[in-house]
Amino acid sequence: MSDRYMWFEGVPFPTMGFTPELMREAWESFVFKDEDVLILTYPKSGTNWLVEIVCLIYSKGDPKWIQSVPIWDRSPWVETEYGYNSLKDKEGPRLISSHLPIQLIPKSLFNSKAKVIYLIRNPRDVLISGYFFWRTSYFVKKAESLKEYFEWFIKGNVPFGSWFDHIHGWMSMKGKENFLILSYEELKRDTRSTVDKICQFLGRKLEPEELNSLLKNSSFQVMKENKMSNLSLLRGQFFDEKNGILLRKGVTGDWKNHITVAQAEAFDRIFQEKMADLPQELFPWE
Ligand SMILES: Nc1ncnc2c1ncn2[C@@H]1O[C@H](COP(=O)(O)O)[C@@H](OP(=O)(O)O)[C@H]1O
Ligand SMILES: CCc1ccc(OS(=O)(=O)O)cc1
């Protein structure tokens, strides 16, 4: 159980798996290669779903890889001690994950042609997903109530900092050839077309039966039962024995079941204020 964060450059991080020394080394020295693919998200935006999909694109829909190798080894987190060490000497094209805000991503990214997929999600759903997820972990400060977590989220006093700043930072990459922006909402609404879009971006082609297998094996229910993808292998070490739920509901709009009318109105006001300068079509939720 943790009652604090690990702060680095003014941003709060989990207390396990992250150290300032390692984060500084990754920031200064990690070398992105042109053939790398980076999956970037603010936490709880559907990261693991996207990783599963990209893995299945690389394996042409064959589930052997996703059923035999833990998700954090298939696409390691560059900012964690474990992920950085497994990535830095890895040969060939790499899948890499990160939740880092733009100002902390290894600087070499900006001199490489690595392909970046940035996945966004309705922050109200991100908030609810995070509230239920982090409270089962041993490495994040626990909120006593949703009301308290709501206040922390608005202020950016949650793992990886402010959602609003994360989006603003990364949106400065919008329009670059190697930067694809997707939303959890479009992935949910039309998974097949969104996977096609990802394939095109990555220059990969799937036969219809390979795509069908990808869709089946990355579905909520199949992922929930795949112990290589559902984080259940981390129970006891990083998460509560009984809980540790990554695949909780997997829907859009669950925030409506948890957030009060007053909180929703306050959130709308803050959203308008902070996000007014960005094109509203970036936010495909009601
Ligand atoms: N195959 C899938 N289909 C739909 N949603 C998925 C999914 N796999 C994970 N998710 C959802 O993505 C969220 C976790 O995001 P991340 O991987 O960034 O931590 C969870 O949201 P909920 O908590 O709203 O259910 C989880 O259920
Ligand atoms: C420190 C380990 C850890 C494991 C899983 C996490 O969640 S997520 O994959 O980013 O959603 C975060 C930290």
- Give the pLDDT of residue 244: 58
Is the pLDDT at 1 greater than 60? The verdict is: no
Residue 42, classed as helix, strand or coil, is coil
CB atoms within 10 A of CB 3: 8
d(CA 97, CA 83): 9
CA 42 to chain centre: 5
Distance CA 134, CA 13 (A): 12
**Distance (Å) from CA 22 to ligand 1 centroid:** 28
Q: Which amino acid is at 205?
A: K
Any ligand 2 atom below 6 A from CB of 102: no
CATH H superfamily, domain 6-282: P-loop containing nucleotide triphosphate hydrolases (3.40.50.300)
Nearest Cα to Cα of residue 153 among 3, 43, 273, 281: 43
Residue 83 β-bridge partners:
none
How far is it between the farthest Cα atoms of the chain? 52
Phi-psi region of 231 (alpha: psi -120 to 50; beta: other; left: phi over 0): left
**pLDDT single digits (tens) 200-247:** 999 999 999 999 999 999 999 999 999 999 999 999 888 887 765 899
Q: Rounded to whole angstroms, how far apart are CA atoms 85 and 62? A: 27
Give residue 133 CA to ligand 2 midpoint distance, Å: 9
- Residue 93 has a pLDDT of 87
Order across the sheet with 179-183: list the strands. 95-98, 37-41, 115-120, 179-183
Domain boundaries in the chain?
6-282
The percent of residues in the chain predicted with pLDDT above 90, rounded, is 90
Amino acid at 240: D
- What is the arithmetic mean of pLDDT over 8-30? 96
Handedness of CA 182, 184, 185, 191 (dihedral sign): positive
Q: How large is the average pLDDT for residues 187-209?
A: 98
Ligand 2 center to 45 CA (angstroms): 12
Mutation to probe ligand 2, out of 16, 98, 232, 238 (largest number of atoms < 8 A from CB): 238
**Closest-lying ligand 2 atom to the alpha carbon of residue 16:** 1
Residues lining ligand 1, CB < 6 A? 41, 43-49, 125, 129, 218-220, 223, 246-250, 254
Tokens standing for residue 189:
């609404």
Give the pLDDT band of residue 139 (cuts 50, 70, 90).
confident
Give the pLDDT band (50/70/90) at residue 170. Answer: very high
C-alpha triplet 166, 167, 170: angle, nearest 5°: 85
Q: Has residue 182 got a pLDDT over 90? A: yes
- Contact indicator for 191, 43 with CB cutoff of 8 Å: no
- Angle, helices 163-171 vs 261-275, to 10°: value is 30
Q: For 252, which DSSP code?
A: S
Q: Whose CA is nearest to atom 2 of ligand 1?
A: 220
Using CB atoms within 10 Å of the CB of residue 218, give its burial: 0 to 12 exposed, 13 to 18 middle, 19+ buried.
buried
pLDDT of residue 2: 64
Q: Is the CB of 252 under 6 A from ligand 2?
A: no
Q: What is the CA(273)–ligand 2 centre distance, in A?
A: 30
C-alpha 150/C-alpha 165 separation (Å) is 16
Which ranges of the chain does DSSP label H, i.e. alpha helix?
20-29, 47-58, 64-68, 71-74, 81-88, 123-134, 146-155, 163-171, 184-189, 191-202, 208-217, 220-225, 261-275
Q: The whole model's pTM is what?
A: 0.97
Whether ligand 2 lies within 6 angstroms of the CB of 47 is answered as yes
How is residue 2 annotated by DSSP?
A: B
